[in-house]
Chain A
């Protein structure tokens, strides 16, 4: 139920404080979503949408963190041959 899907803000429709709406694209499919909780998002940004409303703007820099950590774990040797 707490499923949240990332989608791209393609067009703002209304920036009203309580009933803000934007068109969001999910894998090629566009939907109008409520945006009152992510009013700071710009067109081109990604937001996480749950039950028809945006609940967060994805932080693109933070999204890289796990990959930086993976890189810091060293080259592929030692894990590619992991036992599974």
Chain B
């Protein structure tokens, strides 16, 4: 596929890898923010290949993992109502809530529908005028334009039985919280390519000045990841801290202004509790007043919040902030597997625990699954 295959070329990947090794005169520690990048690094064996040269710490960029438990519990309660259909991205379904996952709720007779796009949930509401359709709006700034269009569409077409359970989160406040935490050892960040596609990277200019940490906006394919890592290493070796854009085929400095305006028309910034992190100041989005009629929390005020129960064994807070890697969690691959997960990072397609579990036998493979291994 154009714009995918060429960025997976093993020979080119080897060349970049050799250049990273040549440039790095000492080991460096980078954090990739986005869970999609974590999966790419593991899937293509990049993390293993760079051992001893660059340590990759996996960041908080899994929106499914940080969606607060109370939101999941609320979604389950909605799904169990006779008059309500809970529509969600497939990623959310196996995430453990306090009692069940949405998949278990579905097995118990709850009405849960997987949709590919939030707009599909609006169509679902049109086809089911006798039911309430609630879309579980999870995701970073990448996803907020899609849910914003869905709300605009529902408003324009008077789809009164549609609402959103909003759990959108914003990346940069979490990065700031991590950069402020002493002793985390992160020396540079690979910023999330698709969040920056929407938001741009001008807001990182004060960030790199304040924290003196290089930030390289990076894509998701092996060559993107290696090129982003190389850019970080070059800056670190030169003692620089700048914002650089590796993913320029998609990301512009100002971002996608139309997408930002769309998001701003529907949402405003708010504080948000992140699962595993606690409250993050300005870390979320909520519906603006003129869209309150689409706010499921307001529409279903009668649903009482049950006490939240977090697994005592799950170390997801340490995973999401990069303090430990999944194999260091005692439950990893024993008490916690994708079939019987204790925490969200084991089931989300962007969760670090899922990545380590899935690619645990590929740790020494070269990029793009090329069979060549270190001699």
Contact = CB atoms under 8 A, between A and B. Distances in A.
Interface of A: 1-4, 6, 8, 18-19, 26-27, 34, 36-39, 46, 48, 50-53, 55-56, 58-60, 62-63, 65-67, 69-70, 73, 76, 78-80, 82-84
Interface in B117-166: 117-120, 138-140, 142-143, 145-146, 149, 152-153, 156
Q: Indicate the size class of the contact surface on chain B.
A: 35 or more
Given A50-B143, A82-B17, A19 B153 contact: yes
Contacts of B298: none
Interface stretch (B68-76, B191-199, B271-279, B283-291): B191-199
B152 A18 contact: yes
B258 interface: yes
B374 A83 contact: yes
A38 B256 CA distance: 8
Contact of B375 (A26, A63, A84): A84
Contacts of A76: 11, 15
B192 A2 contact: yes
B214 interface: no
B149 A36 contact: yes
- Pick the most buried of B117, B193, B220, B249: most chain A CB atoms within 10 A of its CB: B249
B1 interface: yes
A63 B374 contact: no
Interface stretch (B2-10, B178-186, B310-318): B2-10
B89 interface: yes
A43 B120 CA distance: 24
B91 A1 contact: yes
Contacts of A50: 142-143, 146, 194
A70 B291 CA distance: 49
A37 B140 contact: no
Interface string B86-127: 000101000000000000000000000000111110000000
Interface stretch (B59-67, B202-210, B235-243, B325-333): B59-67
B372 A84 contact: yes
B227 interface: yes
17 contacts: A1-B62, A1-B89, A1-B349, A1-B350, A2-B34, A19-B152, A34-B149, A37-B259, A55-B197, A56-B251, A58-B249, A59-B249, A62-B248, A66-B227, A78-B18, A79-B14, A82-B15
B14 A52 contact: no
A80 B11 CA distance: 8
A34 B63 contact: no
A56 B199 CA distance: 11
A51 to B, nearest CB: 4
Contacts of B334: none
Contacts of A46: 2-3
Nearest to B36: A2
A38 B138 CA distance: 22
A63 B2 CA distance: 11
Contacts of B375: 83-84
A27 B375 CA distance: 36
Contacts of A1: 35-36, 62-64, 89, 91, 138-140, 142-143, 348-350
B149 A18 contact: yes
Contacts of B192: 2
B1 A26 contact: yes
B223 interface: yes
A52 B119 CA distance: 8
B368 interface: no
B373 interface: yes
Contacts of B280: none
A70 B12 contact: yes
A78 B17 CA distance: 12
B32 interface: no
A38 B5 CA distance: 23
A70 B6 CA distance: 13
B2 to A, nearest CB: 7
